[in-house]
Amino acid sequence: MDQSASKPDIRKIKADFPTLNRKVRSSFDLIYLDSAATSQKPEMVLEAMDRYYRLSNANIHRGIHTLAEEATAQYEDARQRIAKFINARRSREVIFTRNTTESINLVVNSWGRSRLQAGDLVVLTEMEHHSNLVPWQLLASQLGIRLEFVPVDLTGTLDLEVYQGLLEQGPKMVAFMHMSNVLGTINPAKEMISAAHRAGALVLLDGAQSVPHLPVDVQDLDVDFLAFSGHKMCGPTGIGVLYGKETVLESMPPFLGGGDMIKKVFLRSFTPNDLPHKFEAGTPAIAEVIGLGAAVDYLDAIGMEQIALHEHEIMRYGLDELAKVPGLKVYGTDTLQRGAVFSFTMENVHPHDVAQVLDDLGIAVRAGHHCAMPLHEKYGLPATTRASFYLYNTLDEVDRLVEGLSRVNQLFR
């Protein structure tokens, strides 16, 4: 891959994000290292949403007037661009939800509830975010399905031998995260999906951390469901996507009931609407869909390959530099299959104190269990500090982080 040809100019990218050009703690340039929680939003996304509200605000799909026509066209046009972004065959395979969590709940409640019965096996992993654990736990307690977990080792890698063994037990579904929000591990999704298919299971991939940072191609992966959130990929909050293979979505009952998801309604029955409307009950987040469409345009213009390369460079540099900080331990793999996410602990310093000291220097990180309590438990950690990078971060910001961590050591060691 030619890296020099269209290597993105990060200074120019940074200028597109209003929040990244403000000062914090009176005099510090903001160093935003919490994109795994939510990304910042470029001007283009804010403008698209603002323009919709200022010029075309109307409800969609039904109105005959100009504004309704414009709103419907913008909404459905965004769906097509988002479908293209993940290389879906058809835009009707893209269902709008509130976020990754709701997308997973849709699969669990529509597909799971109608297909699974007591004793059926669903395979998850130990590194899952709570959003891909709790919905399945709820279903397990109600239907009596069985949950088994692929173990993660201390390098942050899934044990694929145990996975193979679990597949031999004939699971109906395998659900796992593409990239870990804590360890940064990029799981071998394609290999795991084809193994699951050979065993007769469907696969739900949690793409919350992968879709914003890597090229993700649903046809190449051959994945049955892909869930992701707009707000982690330069889009607004309140909008998420469930991609599903058309044949699978067609065979599923509706999730939420209400307006828009019906074709006909009688007092005691209804017939569901066509895809994708069948799964979009009620007035959707129209401005947010339009905003996510703009976010996808923004990422496309830079190129997901370029973004992945840039973050890979940060990941390599970050691991090297963090290793030099006394008393600091980074969790996870140092192989190539890792994103620019560093969860770490510092000897004798609580993660919250680390985050507090960094904040005083204008550096935004996160401290806690990052919605992955079982994973932290496995590592025997109550919490970690996490620095997560995105397309708008620079190698200089890694240096600033390391300087900040030296300050932490000065104070506490």
Partner 1 sequence: MDDLYREVIIERHKNPHHRGTLEPYDYSFEDENPFCGDHIRVDVRTDESGMITEAVFSGHGCAISTASADLLIESIIGHSVEEVKKMTKDDVLELLGIELGPVRLKCALLPLKVLKAGVYGLDQASDRLVEGDE
Catalytic residue numbers? Answer: 371
As given in the structure block, the two tokens for residue 353 are 């104190």
Cβ closest to partner 1, residue 277 vs residue 310: 277
Cβ closest to partner 1, residue 11 vs residue 268: 268
CA nearest 179: which of 166, 188, 167?
Answer: 188
As given in the structure block, the two tokens for residue 270 are 């209804």
Point out which residues bind partner 1 (CB under 8 A): 61-64, 68-69, 72-73, 76, 80, 90-92, 262-264, 273-275, 277
CB of 64 to partner 1, least distance (A): 6
Q: Count how many Cα atoms sit within 13 Å of the Cα of residue 79 in the half-sphere of its side chain.
A: 23
Cβ closest to partner 1, residue 193 vs residue 290: 290
Cα–Cα dist 131/385, whole Å: 20
Which residues fall within 8 angstroms of residue 68, CB to CB, at 6 or more apart? 58, 59, 60, 62
As given in the structure block, the two tokens for residue 156 are 């942050």
CB of 73 to partner 1, least distance (A): 5
CB of 296 to partner 1, least distance (A): 17
Residue found under tokens 């129209």: 286
Cβ closest to partner 1, residue 22 vs residue 84: 84
E strands of 281-403, at which residues?
328-330, 341-346, 363-364, 366-368, 384-388
As given in the structure block, the two tokens for residue 210 are 């992968």
Please say whether the beta carbons of 310 and 394 come within 8 A.
no
Which residues fall within 8 angstroms of residue 139, CB to CB, at 6 or more apart? 108, 109, 112, 113, 116, 145
Maximum distance among all Cα pairs of the chain, rounded to whole angstroms: 71
CB of 103 to partner 1, least distance (A): 22
CB of 131 to partner 1, least distance (A): 30
Cβ closest to partner 1, residue 190 vs residue 263: 263
Cβ closest to partner 1, residue 1 vs residue 267: 267
Cα–Cα dist 51/370, whole Å: 35
Please say whether the beta carbons of 28 and 362 come within 8 A.
yes
Cβ closest to partner 1, residue 156 vs residue 276: 276
Which residues fall within 8 angstroms of residue 399, CB to CB, at 6 or more apart? 321
Question: What are the respective helix, strand and coil percentages of the chain, to the nearest 5?
Answer: 45, 20, 40
Burial letters 158-169, b for 16+ CB under 10 A, else e: beeeebeebbee
CB of 252 to partner 1, least distance (A): 15
CB of 83 to partner 1, least distance (A): 8
